[in-house]
């Protein structure tokens, strides 16, 4: 299905299909001050296109998590701006940021953060219920179909494999058609088969649901599922690779680490 098709995925207010889904301009982040100051990001400008699946990679300490946290409104940059669609999210207060994360962003982290006493279905629906939104049934059915969870909906997390639990977390993140899904090492706790499944779902959600996905990973094989890899070094974009293969990603990483 084409991302621009007007249906349950109608973009939220403030989006502009012609503009990037997310744009960072001159983003810097300094932790601490004086002699102990660490410049985690050093003037990062990068765009993430609508419906693209992008991996962020780079050596340890290169600023990947800091960049993702600033893009997602979980951390405040020292300078520079982040736009989500047309909206500049830098400088928003805590309340507005919390609301924006809830309404317009989805998160998939390494720890699945499912509630053990709720079924898969109730876990997927929980954020919508907490936000007081009536869940969109058509969207729910589509997301459940994409994540292959139809016959697992009444299971508790403890009755699901790690891969299935992570699929529930992905479905939960995708349900409200967020403008962007941020995934931080989403396969870190999974065996390679379950990891491949989750990456397949993220890639499919970009292709079939028009979902913008930004993923931090250390794994060249994981990055090869993305449409593009942005490499960081010392808090700065160092390289950009389209249609990555695991081999090409490894070669770029080796070059960056040398």
Ligand X SMILES: Nc1ncnc2c1ncn2[C@@H]1O[C@H](COP(=O)(O)OP(=O)(O)OP(=O)(O)O)[C@@H](O)[C@H]1O
Footprint of ligand X (CB under 6 A) = 31-32, 38, 40, 58, 60-66
Report, in Å, the least distance between residue 94 CB and ligand X.
17
Query: Strand runs (DSSP E) across 49-101, as ranges?
Result: 53-57, 79-84, 87-88
Nearer to ligand X, 66 or 123 (CB): 66
Nearer to ligand X, 71 or 97 (CB): 71
- Which neighbouring-strand residues pair with 181? 106, 213
Contact 182, 71 (CB under 8 A): yes
Nearer to ligand X, 8 or 246 (CB): 246
Nearer to ligand X, 28 or 147 (CB): 28
DSSP letter string, 10-53: PPPTT--TTS-SEEEEEEEEEES-GGG-EEEEEEEEEEE-TT-E
The CA distance from 183 to 193, in Å, is 18
Dihedral sign, Cα of residue 71, residue 74, residue 79, residue 83? positive
Nearer to ligand X, 74 or 126 (CB): 74
Residues, the chain: 258
């Amino acid at each position: 299905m084409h991302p621009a098709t007007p249906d349950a995925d109608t973009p939220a207010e403030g989006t502009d299909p012609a503009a990037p889904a997310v744009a960072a301009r001159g983003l810097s982040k300094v932790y601490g001050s004086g002699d102990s100051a660490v410049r985690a990001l050093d003037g990062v400008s990068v765009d993430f296109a609508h419906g693209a699946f992008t991996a962020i990679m780079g050596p340890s300490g290169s600023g990947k998590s800091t960049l993702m946290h600033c893009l997602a409104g979980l951390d405040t940059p020292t300078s520079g701006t982040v736009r989500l669609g047309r909206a500049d999210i830098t400088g928003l207060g805590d309340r507005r940021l919390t609301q924006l994360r809830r309404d317009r962003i989805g998160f998939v982290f390494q720890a699945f953060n499912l509630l053990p006493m709720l079924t898969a279905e109730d876990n997927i629906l929980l954020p919508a219920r907490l936000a007081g939104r009536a869940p969109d049934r058509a969207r729910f059915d589509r997301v459940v179909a994409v994540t292959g969870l139809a016959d697992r909906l009444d299971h508790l997390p403890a009755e699901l494999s790690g891969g299935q639990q992570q699929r529930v977390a992905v479905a939960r993140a995708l349900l409200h058609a967020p403008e962007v899904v941020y995934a931080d090492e989403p396969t870190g706790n999974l065996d390679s088969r379950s990891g491949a499944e989750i990456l397949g779902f993220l890639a499919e959600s970009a292709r079939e649901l028009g979902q913008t996905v930004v993923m931090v990973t250390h794994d060249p094989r994981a990055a090869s599922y993305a449409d593009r890899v942005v490499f960081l070094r010392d808090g700065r974009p160092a390289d950009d690779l389209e249609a990555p293969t695991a081999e090409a990603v490894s070669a770029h990483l080796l070059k960056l680490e040398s």
